[in-house]
Structure formats: structure tokens, C-alpha cells
A = this chain, B = another copy of it.
Amino acid sequence: MAEVAESGEGVKRERRNRDGEMMTAALKLFASKGYTAASVQDIADAIGVLKSSVYHYIGSKEELLFRIFLEAHEENEALMLEVEALDVSPVDRLRDYLNRTLLVALNNIERTGLYFRDWRHLTGTRRETLIRHRVQYGVFLRGLIEAAYAAEGVTAHITLKHVSSFIIGATNWLAEWYRPGGSDSPELIASDYAELAMTAIMGTAHAAKPANSRARRQSAI
């Protein structure tokens, strides 16, 4: 019995490894050839199995693309929860979130590039799910910005949607120029970008009406 159980575990483990290999190969191929040009046959060749074996794991090439994005989304969700749980000021929470998302984008640069070049190839409910996730990121970022403004007693001078899309755009564009192993470390780039973002976000807000907390604090001095 013990042996059977072990071999059952072994099969499961092998299946998990093969699944991971397949996902890694798919990301590499989609990123280098483009989603349209890369075929399931290419993925099978890359991991040394028959095309029919790949279809053991997935129903379609589109499912592979979706699973890559879903993995990214799960990491982002975990990151959002971590940031929400931090015991820091709203301004520091915003800065920390920007720094962390920038590092995730840089450390997974192939996925970052694939995401923004090829998400359009998703269809039906997969596409709807992805769009819902994107909306969620924007809402989360705007929530952090609003909290930072409220804590500093300032109000947005320009449309908050424009502030967040500006920052998200700059971040996603990293995939267009950043190559791992270059002269600048991901940490340096993330810190420079976070500083640019924080300066743009906080610097375009203006002192709110006297009724806000900061003004009250100041007038009490």
C-alpha cells in the first residue's frame, strides 16, 4: 500500500513538474515569437513531448495564455493584501505598493510584455475576467492615492483616472526597454520609477479647503 501511495505521489509530482515546464515554455515562446506565431507544437517540442500530451494539460493555446495571466493576477492579489496589511502611513503604503509592483513587473519582464501585447487574443469569459482584473488594479491604486491625499490634507487637482493610467502606463512600458542583466538593477529602476510616480502623484495635488485635517492641525499650532 505504502509503495502504491508513493508511486501515486510520484505521478502527481511528475504531472506538476510537467505542468510547470509547459507553462514556462509557453511563456518563453509566446514572449519571443508572439502569441499568434507560437504554436502548441512549438511548446511540445520545447519540453520534448508529443503535441497530444500538451492537450492532456490544456484545452487550447488560449487557455495557456489565460493561465499565465491568471498566475500573474494571483501574485498581484497577494501583493495587494500584503500592502493593505502594512502598519504604515497611507503615503508610505502607496510608495511601497508602487515599489513592489514595479519590482514584480521587472522581475517577470517577459510576462509583463506578453500581457500588454497579447491580452487581446483572449476571448469570451476569459477576456471578461482579465478586463475585470485590470479594472481592479486601477481601483486599488486610486484607493491608495485617495488615502494618501486625505492623510496629507490635499485634494487631486487633476482627474484621478488620468493619474493612475499615467503611472500604470509608465510601469507596463518597462517591457519595451528593460532587459535583465543590463547595467541598472531592477531595484534601482523600481526605486527611480517609484520616486517619479510619487512626485507626480503628490506634486499635482493641492492643499485642500481649511476644513481638512492638516489645515486644522496647522491652525491649532
Contact = CB atoms under 8 A, between A and B. Distances in A.
A173 B169 contact: yes
A106 to B, nearest CB: 12
Nearest to A172: B173
Interface residues of A, number: 35
Interface stretch (A16-24, A71-79, A86-94, A194-202): A194-202
Interface string A157-171: 111001101111111
Interface in A80-103: none
11 contacts: A158-B192, A162-B189, A165-B173, A166-B193, A169-B170, A169-B171, A169-B172, A172-B176, A199-B200, A200-B200, A203-B203
A21 to B, nearest CB: 26
Interface in A27-48: 34, 36-37
